[in-house]
Chains A and B, each alone.
Chain A
């Protein structure tokens, strides 16, 4: 890769985040290029969620800077609105709106925030439902779907806002094993379309296949960052090696 070709779309520089006295992120720096796929892993409580939640400002960082697509994130409404427009997020618990049908879940954002007409939003929503392969579920309610289907609806809901960056926070860890693959397939398909993606996941098969860059976090720090081949074959730090051994055992 040549540096001049890969414009960083996300620049995280020396970011720290506290919850009370507890420091959840310690001077974390990370650059993500346009179209790059980053997979973040690390033990529970290491700050993975906190880091990606800072990127769409679900958490506010206390120091350091985060620049997304040339907009620096501060407390201003403009930066907040601009960031939310560009960044989609998929949650571990899906967080679908339970009182709305699948199609209503998908069109709410476009209609209210993008001021799209109902028909236009509906057409776009159907297109993304087809892409995640569940167009026939459009008029059902979330709880009538399986976990895997719900998560694919959640992915489609984010895509309807046509973000340039997608964040995934352990999208498969609340799923039964037999449903994990359908979600990973959807994500892999998305990766081939050139979407910039940051995924927190422990699905190492997926990571190997899709990631351009692997990040290992521990105790609020980025301990290791490397291309997947290097990362899996020859991790530099002891902590990362131990973690990988544990996780690759099963």
Chain B
């Protein structure tokens, strides 16, 4: 960790000394530098909005897809398998292109860049969420269902009050991973023109011709964002663990 930090510092500082770097493009002490930095950082808003909207949808869809996968009925399980296999097989980038350019033509609707991004990311992620939920729910002892049934709980109530609260605590680390993954994958939505972090960096590179500096800032932006989110996820995990007591 320490070694990596030293290397990173060297990589950033040494070329700057030799004059081949142009840190001025993102120098916060000059007005252009500051404007450029602001332009880059403003992409954060859409990166976050995009990722969190997509993950919220994909968790719900993933859960709804997971449930038939737990059924004793083969047809219902088939629906789950088909969805997971098909959606998982399509690369996210391809899905983004298809939802933005293909879907409007096919369904005769118009879709904004933002919603195309959210839908594509959510769709792609939902297959993984479905698998996570299925595994989590399956890990709960049968006795819990039987006890719930013997106190007359309906199936939805059994899920909501008995099974899911326990399953979600177990899959929280996996859900946290998906969120981090989602934040990174949202960069792909830049290809259809979404003004998130990556798109902004690309646009700045085109006008300033300083890819090294601009993309380095981009790397640091993602790094900072994901470190903060990871810490938040771990905090939630810790809190849930202390109040569950089992």
| Interface residue ranges, A against B (CB under 8 Å) | 56, 58, 81, 84-85, 87-89, 91, 93, 95-99, 108-109, 112-114, 141-144, 154, 157-158, 160-161
Contact = CB atoms under 8 A, between A and B. Distances in A.
- Interface of B, secondary structure class, is helix
Interface string B211-246: 000000000000000000000000000000000111
B245 A143 contact: yes
Contacts of B144: 95, 97
Contact of A161 (B141, B152, B245): B152
A87 B150 contact: yes
Interface in B106-151: 141, 143-144, 146-151
Interface residue tally of chain B, by bracket?
Answer: 20 to 34
B245 A141 contact: yes
Contacts of A96: 147
A99 B147 contact: no
Contacts, number: 71
Contacts of B150: 56, 58, 84, 87-89, 158
B151 A99 contact: no
Contact of A91 (B147, B154, B161): B147
Interface in B163-200: 165-166, 169
A58 B149 contact: yes
B162 interface: yes
Given A58-B146, A141-B246, A99 B153 contact: no
21 contacts: A85-B152, A88-B151, A93-B143, A95-B141, A95-B146, A95-B147, A97-B144, A97-B147, A97-B148, A98-B166, A99-B169, A99-B244, A99-B246, A109-B151, A109-B152, A109-B153, A112-B161, A113-B154, A113-B157, A144-B245, A158-B150
A187 B49 CA distance: 57
